[in-house]
Each structure stands twice: as structure tokens, then as C-alpha cells.
Structure 1
Amino acid sequence: MEITEIRAVPLSDPVPEEKRHRTDLGTKVKTDATLVFVETDEGHTGVGAALGHPPTVESIVEGSLAPALVGEDPTYTGRLWEKLYSGSRAEPSLERGYSQPRWDRRGYTLEAISGVDIALWDVTGKAFDQPVYKLLGAVRDDIRAYASGGWATGEGAADELRGYVDRGFDAVKMRAVGHEEFSVENTLERVGIAREGIGDDVDLMVDAHGSLDVPTAIRLARRMEAYDLTWFEEPISPDDHPGLAEVRDATEIPIATGESEFTRFDFRSLFDHGALDVAQPDVARCGGITESRRVATMASARNVKFAPHAWGSGALFAASLHLAMSTPNCPILEVPQAYMPLLDDLYEEEFDIRDGRVYAPDRPGLGFTVREDFAERFEYVEGPEYEF
């Protein structure tokens, strides 16, 4: 089997004004994604997803990555990942046994590689007539889920999170900043209201999106300890691994991070600094399924849990689902609660999410079929995803 074509399609999913939420990132006005399609001479088509600015990712996929892979066997996922990551030095890298990456090895390039890699795994599963998670080494076929939302302020925080619990979730995540301006007191009030609203038996996580400095994060974390949090996510900038270790050392709350990182090498820095308790790579940014598995293994060797960041398109969520089903140190999977048809309506089939658990599909590959009208339904619209 050979790859005959690789193409990318930029997509957007505008959010109606009445369904928008606001955090420290600003007001969410749309969701963007790039779908990557890998075609083969045997009629199999793989579909992947990439984060990043869609027209830029499209250009990288079709102008830089696709020419390197046409004619290759798509089931050699490991080899092809190294070929994309190392570029012209792929063969010397493989022969000598150490990485010799291309100069543009982060950012949009890595996000584009991620989309291609996911699509290659989808093709491989279809070629072998097996779900991807079974090819990866199945650990389970269903997993506990947590509802990821929590933007409301005041009493609304309790109502919002309790609504997730009423739908069957026994773990929920809220944002450190809702509609109001951030302050330690505002956040503590919201977290306290949320904890009272959901009770003591539901796991509660808080996500700061990397928006705090080290002293503020430490002060907030220490005071949030009273609310028995499962983790404090991205308390400070992802660029400051030593600072994140300071925060972790200063609190009893486990620290989760990783959605902004690229490759196992970035995660090695987090591990070396002792900066996290839960590794959260995003499969559409970190390097696809191939690289995310490596991160999970590195985490396992350090008794660090793995919980992929699964916020985005349906293809991103599908890939995250298969990672979760094949990773021993993954105890839980994120299920976004925002208005996001690009996640919920991209495929003909629905995700099987029941009673606070996500169930794996039994169909080959990622197990889902992109709707025929997807490009028209989610036509790309230029502009930022957040307005501040």
C-alpha cells in the first residue's frame, strides 16, 4: 500500500453570541481546526486533525510534508514520523540512532506533523481492520470522563457544574477565571461555591490557562487546598518549567500541564524539573499519536499520570480517545462542554459517552466517518478564536 495524496482542509466553527463564554483568554467567538486527509492506492483514507492557524497549517502540510510521504507505506507510522521531524536528515538519524530534527521543529510545523500522524494511524487501522487503540495495545474499552467547562460566576458556578453531575459525570473542571476579572478572592469564592454545589464525592479540577505568575499561583493554590482539588491545571506560563516546579513544591494540590508543549523533549524538561503530576499533551499539537505515546511512557516511568488535552475538533477527540484506551497510566479523559459542533457534528457517528464514561468504537481506524458536507458546514473564517 502506498500514499497517493495528502491534503489539508481549514475549518471554522463560529459560536453564536448567546453561547459564548469568557475566560482569561478572552471571549470565545469560534473554534478553528485543520483536517488532514491521507489517501492510499488501496482506497483507504485516513483523517487527522491539527491545531494552529489553519491556512498556515494547510500550507505546511501540502507544501512541505506531503511531498516527503507520497509513495511511502502509511503503516510505517514510526518511520514516517521521523522522516517528517528530521526532514532531509531522516535516514542518517535512523541509522545513527539519535534525533537530528529539522530547524522548524516546533509551532505550526509540529502541529501539521501531528495532523498527518493521526491520519496515518487512521489509515493503518483501516488497513488492518482494527481500531487504533487495539493496534496500540488495548488497556480498556471504556474510561472515566470529566466534564470540562466551568465559566460561570457566583451561584452560576454551582449550577453549571451541578448540571454536569446531573448528566452522570463524577469529575468536573472549572476555569480559574470566569466572566469577571481575575483575583484570588474571586476565584476562591467561585471554587467554594462550586464545591458546595457538587458535594464532596465529585472530583473538582481548576484550570488557570497559564495566566498567573508564580507568587500568585502559590498563594491561590495554598488557599484552594481546603476544597480538595484533584488537580490545578496550568497555573503559570508553560515557558517557565522551573517556576512550575516551585508551585508544585509549595502546594498539596497535584499539578497538571502539557497542552502547550511540543514533543517528548519538551516533556522531558517538565519531568526533569519535577514540575507536574499529570501530563496533558494535546495529540494535535504534541506530535500526533506516535509522539503522545512516547510522552505517556516517559510519564509512566516516573509515576506521572497521563490525561490528554482533548479540546477541539471531533478528529482530535477521536484520536485522544484511542490514546486513553491504550495508555495504562491514563485514568480519565476530558470531555468538553462548550458549544462546539466541530466536535459533536463532524462525524456521521456519535461519540458514545454515557454515565460519565467514554466508550471506544469497535470500527477500524479511529472509527468515525466525516460527514460529506463538512467543508461547507464548517467553512473557514479568518480571524482570531478569542476576542479580548
Structure 2
Amino acid sequence: MDTIAKTVSRQQDASPDSIAWIRLSSIFLPLKTPISDAKVLTGRQKPLTEVAFLFAEIETTEGHSGIGFSYSKRAGGPGQYAHACEIANVLIGEDPNDIAKLWIKLSWAGASVGRSGLAVQAIAAFDIALWDLKAKRAGLPLAKLLGAHRDSVRCYNTSGGFLSSPIEEVLDNVEQSIGADIGGIKIKVGQPDMAIDAQRVAAVHERIGGRAAMMVDANQQWDRPAAMRFGRMMEPYMLTWIEEPLDAYDVEGHAMLAAQLDTPIATGEMLASALEHVALINNNAVDFIQPDAPRVGGITQFLKICAFAEAKKLQLAPHFAMEIHLHLAAAYELEPWVEHFDWLDPLFNEHLEIENGRMIVPTRPGLGITLSEQAHRWTRAQAEFGKRP
């Protein structure tokens, strides 16, 4: 058989798979207690009582499947779901291997609402599901499919250090986190009275006693002079980072802090596109970049951010959604951190393991998650597209 005939034969044998069916679910996760950070104490937002999730489940003509999700806090969840329903049909019949191509197709399907914010957050659920599908088809954990540098990632806890918790409760949570083998403790700061923040930091630092790393998070609370003043107050504590000291879009201000403070600056979680992160990176405005895959449009966009960050030798500490970010952090060149939140545990049948301050990358194919019965009970809306194979 000549070369041309062999090529044609291989093409015929490799009949391409195609997306046959999609199910979108709007799921609302209630929190046990209302959560407050600096934005609540200063009247910008109300306490957080629930998290809205957009789940996408995809199946192909050859029987492969994937699951992905996006989320929103306080507002936007119904909007994400509505936009996803508007654009889902463009994926039916497409080859699931062409993930980057399909991201562009989805973005053009909703081009009039832009390529950041809610629009790309809706795309994220599809994109993450396609990566999950691809890794499952290969029989690999997503981290291995991407090219893992490690089998576990340093993890730190945030959920025990909110400003809505009195200091006694925060200190108890410190002990619980260290007892659970978590490697770092992050607490919220940014109260109207900076002296109270300083007292809470001192108390937590003393309680940790060198047993874990420590970070603080101001949730965009300060102006530039206040952030500089607080940053200088924190120097003796040798914090791993100060997070979101300024408005998320104040690139120049973050660059000033990063240049003048010894304590590293971390930010990026609130940015809603890859290009917004590139602005931080190119302007030397951050030491720890904190992208959130569901917020920037999924894994395809997250990987673009990582390429820029690696070139600058920046540290990586993805925000929230540890079920996704554990895999992405494991595939980052420099030693990263991943944020531990147990809020999402009821949504999944599987749970992540922690040993010696590190979160273990699961060996299950793909993301290694399946929706629980409880998640189905919390579902408020659902839509299907195509025909299930």
C-alpha cells in the first residue's frame, strides 16, 4: 500500500469523536454560617451565605464524558447559567479534542457581551469539562496529562480566618488546620481600624509559632498609603504574602508595593481574563500570581497565564476551587500553593487528601470528581442539549 493510501486508511480508521450531549446545572451551595471579609465590614457587600455553581457535563458519540464547573459569589450565578444555555448548542457535533478552537467558538457565540467577566465564566464550565474528558480518555489525572512537576502541592487554609469570626474562634481554627496537616494559615485583614488587624495578626502569628506558613488577605480594602503603612507593619512577621492590598485593577499601585516591601505581594483572583493577569505580570506588580480558572474562562486561559508567569519566574497560588487548581498547580514549574476550602466537599463523592502540609494529587482520571446526591438536591435549574449517546 502506498503512502497516500495508508494515510487515507488511517484517517478512515480514526473517525473523529464528536460532542453529542451537554447538560447544564445551576446548583446553589448553602454555607453553614454567613461569611464576612473587609468588603462586608465597610458596607461594600453583604455577608456571603451561598455560592452559585454552573456545572457542565459533556458526553461524546464514542462514550467519553467530562465534567466542569464555574461559580459566582453573591451575584451572577443565574446570569452565568443563562449565558451558558444561550451558547451551548454551538458545541454539539464538534470534535472534543479541539479545546482551544472550541473556546474561541464559544466566545464568538457570545461576542456582544465581551471576552471577560460573566461571559468567559460561563465558557469556563465547558472548557474545564473538555479538559476533564480529554484526561479521562487518556486514562490520566489531569495533572499528568498537562505534565506534572510534582504529586502533591503545598496547601494553606483560608476558611478559618474570616473577619466575621472572633479572634478566639480564629485561634481555635488555627489549631484545627495545623492538626489536619495543612501547611499554611491565611487570615483576613482590612478592618476600618487597622490596629485591630495588627492585634489579630500578632495573636495568630504567636499561636502558629512557626508550625505553618502565614498569609494575610485584605480583599482590596486599602488605598496606596494605607497599604504601604500596613505592609511595613507586617515586615517583622515574615509573612508568605499580603494578598489584594489594593483594588484588583490598580496595576501601578501593586507594582509600587512589590518594589518597596520585603513581604511578597499576591493578587489576581478577581481578574476575569488572561489579559488582565498579563498586565500584572508585565508590570512587575505581583510576586504571587493568583488566577482563578473558572473566573478567567477555564483551563485553556489559565495555562496561558501560567506561561507568562513562568517566564517571569513568578510564584503561583490559584484562588479557590482546589478540585481544579490542585491539578494545575501540580503542573506549574515553580513550587506553588493551593488554597484549601472545605466548602465544596458536599458537592462531590470524592475528597482530597492532605499529608505533611501538602495536598495529594488524586490518581483518578481527569479531575477525579463526580457529583454527589446532595449536589443534585441543591440543583435549581437544568437544561440539556443534543442527544445522549
Q: Taking structure 2 as the reference length, what is the TM-score of the superposition?
A: 0.85
Match of 1:335 among 331, 340, 352: 340
Matching of residue 111 in structure 1 with residue 121 in structure 2: yes
Residue 201 of structure 1 and its aligned partner are, at CA, apart by: 4.3
User: Where does residue 294 of structure 2 map in the other structure?
Assistant: 284
- What secondary structure does 1:20 align onto? strand
Q: Number of residue pairs matched?
A: 353
Distance 1:270 1:102 in 2: 26
> Quick one: which amino acid aligns to residue 29 of structure 2?
D
Q: Residue by residue, what CA displacement relative to the aligned partner does 1:125-172 show, whole Å, maximum 9, x if unpaired? A: 122222211111121111221112312344443332233112222311
User: Where does residue 362 of structure 1 map in the other structure?
Assistant: 363
Matching of residue 59 in structure 1 with residue 98 in structure 2: no
Over the matched positions of the two proteins, sequence identity in percent amounts to: 33
Distance 1:351 1:326 in 2: 17
Distance 1:307 1:15 in 2: 24
User: Where does residue 6 of structure 1 map in the other structure?
Assistant: 22
Residue 372 of structure 1 and its aligned partner are, at CA, apart by: 4.1
Distance 1:174 1:373 in 2: 30
Mean Cα deviation higher: 28-37 or 366-375: 366-375
Asked whether the equivalents of residues 296 and 329 of structure 1 are also in contact (C-alpha less than 8 Å), the reply is no
Matching of residue 71 in structure 1 with residue 107 in structure 2: no
Asked whether the equivalents of residues 9 and 36 of structure 1 are also in contact (C-alpha less than 8 Å), the reply is yes
User: Where does residue 202 of structure 1 map in the other structure?
Assistant: 212
Distance 1:58 1:157 in 2: 35
Asked whether the equivalents of residues 346 and 374 of structure 2 are also in contact (C-alpha less than 8 Å), the reply is no
Asked whether the equivalents of residues 154 and 189 of structure 1 are also in contact (C-alpha less than 8 Å), the reply is no
Q: Residue by residue, what CA displacement relative to the aligned partner does 1:159-217 show, whole Å, maximum 9, x if unpaired? A: 3223311222231111114xxx4321111111011101111342100001112111111
Match of 2:102 among 66, 80, 94: 80
User: Where does residue 308 of structure 1 map in the other structure?
Assistant: 318
Distance 1:225 1:116 in 2: 43
Q: 1:206 to 1:376 in 2, by over 3 A?
A: same
Q: CA RMSD in A?
A: 2.0
Residue 28 of structure 1 and its aligned partner are, at CA, apart by: 2.4
Residue 83 of structure 1 and its aligned partner are, at CA, apart by: 2.4
Correspondence list, 1:179-258, <5 A: 181-258=191-268
Matching of residue 20 in structure 1 with residue 38 in structure 2: no
Asked whether the equivalents of residues 75 and 123 of structure 1 are also in contact (C-alpha less than 8 Å), the reply is no
Asked whether the equivalents of residues 173 and 206 of structure 1 are also in contact (C-alpha less than 8 Å), the reply is yes
Q: 1:40 to 1:330 in 2, by over 3 A?
A: farther
> Quick one: which amino acid aligns to residue 8 of structure 1?
L
Matching of residue 324 in structure 1 with residue 324 in structure 2: no
Q: 1:124 to 1:102 in 2, by over 3 A?
A: farther
- What secondary structure does 2:328 align onto? helix
| Structure 1 unpaired stretches of 5+ | 89-100, 311-315, 381-388
Distance 1:71 1:251 in 2: 53
- What secondary structure does 1:294 align onto? helix
Q: Residue by residue, what CA displacement relative to the aligned partner does 1:76-132 show, whole Å, maximum 9, x if unpaired? A: 2122223223459xxxxxxxxxxxx76511111110111111000111112222221
- What secondary structure does 2:105 align onto? helix
Mean Cα deviation higher: 278-287 or 349-358: 349-358
| Structure 2 unpaired stretches of 5+ | 1-16, 41-46, 382-389
Larger gyration radius, structure 1 or structure 2: 2
Distance 1:378 1:61 in 2: 16
Matching of residue 169 in structure 1 with residue 182 in structure 2: yes
Asked whether the equivalents of residues 310 and 334 of structure 2 are also in contact (C-alpha less than 8 Å), the reply is yes
Matching of residue 159 in structure 1 with residue 172 in structure 2: yes
> Quick one: which amino acid aligns to residue 292 of structure 1?
F
> Quick one: which amino acid aligns to residue 176 of structure 2?
G
- What secondary structure does 1:362 align onto? coil
Q: Residue by residue, what CA displacement relative to the aligned partner does 1:333-370 show, whole Å, maximum 9, x if unpaired? A: 11025xx2xx1021222222234221122122111221
Residue 254 of structure 1 and its aligned partner are, at CA, apart by: 0.3
Distance 2:112 2:257 in 1: 34
Residue 379 of structure 1 and its aligned partner are, at CA, apart by: 4.2
Residue 25 of structure 1 and its aligned partner are, at CA, apart by: 3.2
Distance 1:6 1:176 in 2: 42
User: Where does residue 135 of structure 1 map in the other structure?
Assistant: 145
Distance 1:123 1:106 in 2: 24
Mean Cα deviation higher: 135-144 or 112-121: 135-144
Q: Residue by residue, what CA displacement relative to the aligned partner does 1:266-305 show, whole Å, maximum 9, x if unpaired? A: 1111112211001110111112111111111111111111
Residue 8 of structure 1 and its aligned partner are, at CA, apart by: 1.9
Q: 1:87 to 1:191 in 2, by over 3 A?
A: same
Residue 259 of structure 1 and its aligned partner are, at CA, apart by: 0.7
